[in-house]
Amino acid sequence: MMPRLLLIATVLLAATAAQAQDALTAGSDIYKKVTENNRVRVLEARFRPGAKMPMHRHPDHLFYMLTDGTLIIKPEGKKAYEMTLTAGEALFLPAQVRASENETDRTIRALIVEFKSPPASVARTAKRAGKGKARARKGRTAAKPRA
């Protein structure tokens, strides 16, 4: 019985250690919360020269650059790559675990808008709205093309 409990405890500890931390927890010197509600969390990232962010997780998110810059992105289990963006440029990134660093001599600033799952009531309403068949209204005709 004791070896079995020891095995279970070891597996649970390993699984917990493998989970990446939230961005705010892992990089409180880089990420600052701007605002949060039940749908989004907005973070400001300030990567000073040489700043390194350990493995952390983000849900689906929008990355909006406030300054020009290049970051080294290291997705979990994948090869690192450079991400070079200019101020005002934005891109959508799916949920991921990654480390990142600024190897340049300039501070890089960005806004990160993390998308939360919609509340269950919204998901149910959207599902119900999609059911049924579309029907034409009586007395209405389709628009005729102009000559």
Helix or strand (DSSP H, E) at 11: helix 2-18
* The model's pTM: 0.68
Q: What's the pLDDT score for residue 5?
A: 46
Q: What's the pLDDT score for residue 117?
A: 84
Q: What's the pLDDT score for residue 134?
A: 52
Alpha carbon distance 144, 147 (integer Å):
9
In terms of phi and psi (left: phi > 0; alpha: psi -120 to 50; beta: otherwise), the region of 53 is beta
CATH class of 20-120: mainly beta
Q: What's the pLDDT score for residue 20?
A: 84
Residue spans of the domains in the chain: they are 20-120
Q: What's the pLDDT score for residue 127?
A: 60
Series of mean pLDDT values for 10-residue runs along the chain (147 residues): 49 48 92 96 97 96 97 96 96 95 97 87 58 54 55
Alpha carbon distance 139, 133 (integer Å):
18
Closest CA to 114 of 24, 12, 3, 20: 24
